[in-house]
Amino acid sequence: MRYPKLRELKEAITALIKGPYTTKFPKVPHIPFPRFRGKPVPDEKGCIGCGACAQVCPPQSIKVTDVITENPPMRYLRWRHDYCIFCGQCDRLCTTQEGVKLSNEFDLADTKRDNMFNEIKKELVLCSECGEIIAPKDQLMYTYKKLIAMAYSNINLIDFTQKEYLNNINAIVSDKSQLLRRQSSFELLCPKCRHVVWVFDDSGK
């Protein structure tokens, strides 16, 4: 007959004295450990609307929707908790490191799946010629503050920041009688329209 090992006997006695290791959830609320990966919570001020979190989300639980027909045009970023696997990629790879943080909240059950999301909206900046999306306004401001003096190597950042800080007055007044002339290069343009302005004298002719 084999007798139990001392280690196993110790564990059995400890369990009898201290009780079970499992919690009494859901009867008693469970308090997770500090580094527990739970519900991602976006931050309105920290998020710049770049959409990097949606690009790295494995289950594609983050949806980016651009609505350019609104005034002003807006970008909506929605975090769906019913699809989220709490991997922490959105937190780890956030451009600003402040846009979204994982919380300790894990009990997200709800009777309606439509309620299981967080949403942030950001104003978009459009190309002044074709109306294509350049970037969210907050993303341009974040880039400008990061680059400081080097931002003046980018014409879009020059024009955008001067309009923001000079009471929305255009820094360069273009001749609007022409469709696309060289002076238009100092406006907010998408890469395609800027290529046309720099390579051709007018409208690609």
pLDDT digits over 31-67, tens only?
888 888 999 999 999 999 999 999 999 999 999 999 9
* Nearest CA-CA partner of 134 in 175, 192, 64: 192
pLDDT digits over 88-142, tens only?
999 999 999 999 999 998 888 888 888 889 999 999 999 888 889 999 999 988 9
Element (H, E) at 118: strand 117-126
Q: Between β-strands 100-102 and 74-80, what pairing exists: parallel, antiparallel or unpaired?
A: unpaired
pLDDT of residue 9: 83
Q: Are 41 and 48 in contact (CB under 8 A)?
A: no
Categorize the per-residue pLDDT at 160 as very low, low, confident or very high, splitting at 50, 70 and 90: confident
197: phi then psi, degrees, rounded to nearest 5 = -65, -45
Write down all domains in the chain, each with its CATH number in brackets: 35-126 (3.30.70.3270), 128-205 (no CATH)
pLDDT of residue 169: 42
Residues whose CB is less than 8 angstroms from the CB of residue 15 and which lie 6 or more positions away in sequence, other chains included: 21
Report d(CA 48, CA 141) in Å as an integer.
Answer: 9
pLDDT of residue 170: 46
Higher pLDDT, 183 or 137: 137
Burial class (CB in 10 A: 0-12, 13-18, 19+), 204: exposed
pLDDT of residue 91: 94
Report d(CA 100, CA 98) in Å as an integer.
Answer: 6
Report d(CA 55, CA 77) in Å as an integer.
Answer: 12
